[in-house]
Amino acid sequence: MIDRLEKEVDMLERHLQVLKMVIENEPIGIVKMSNETGYPHHKVRYSLRVLEEENLIEPSSQGAIKTERTDEFVDELDDKLDDIVGKLHEMKIEESAEIEN
């Protein structure tokens, strides 16, 4: 169960790194992203597809570009991540308390 969570977090990290590259370098293509991140082309392509499905990027003839929704997503991202980290922290505390009893 924890292994699956760790894989999901790793994938989210990759998606966010790809999104950051699009924001900072738009338009940008798969080859350049792959070369700069070290991720294989197929993983970059998958991240781009996920980001496009979330309407955070869109394809152009020059490469991926951000959408109108991108800035709003980025503005909300820190708060959402803080909430998740807080939940994980609470889970850890509860587990520690159970062990002590």
pLDDT in tens, the chain (101 residues): 889 989 999 999 999 999 999 999 999 999 999 999 999 999 999 999 999 999 999 999 999 999 999 999 999 999 999 999 999 888 876 555 555 55
- Token pair, residue 34, equals 């792959």
In this prediction the pTM is 0.83
Query: Which residue bears the tokens 């991202």?
Result: 77
Q: For residue 74, give the 3-state DSSP assignment.
A: helix
Count of the separate structural domains present in the chain: 1
Q: What is the CATH number of the domain that holds 67?
A: 1.10.10.10
Instruction: Give the model's pLDDT for residue 45.
Output: 97
Range of the domain at 45: 2-100
Would you state the pLDDT for residue 1? 81
- Select from 5, 9, 4 the least CA-distant residue to 81: 9
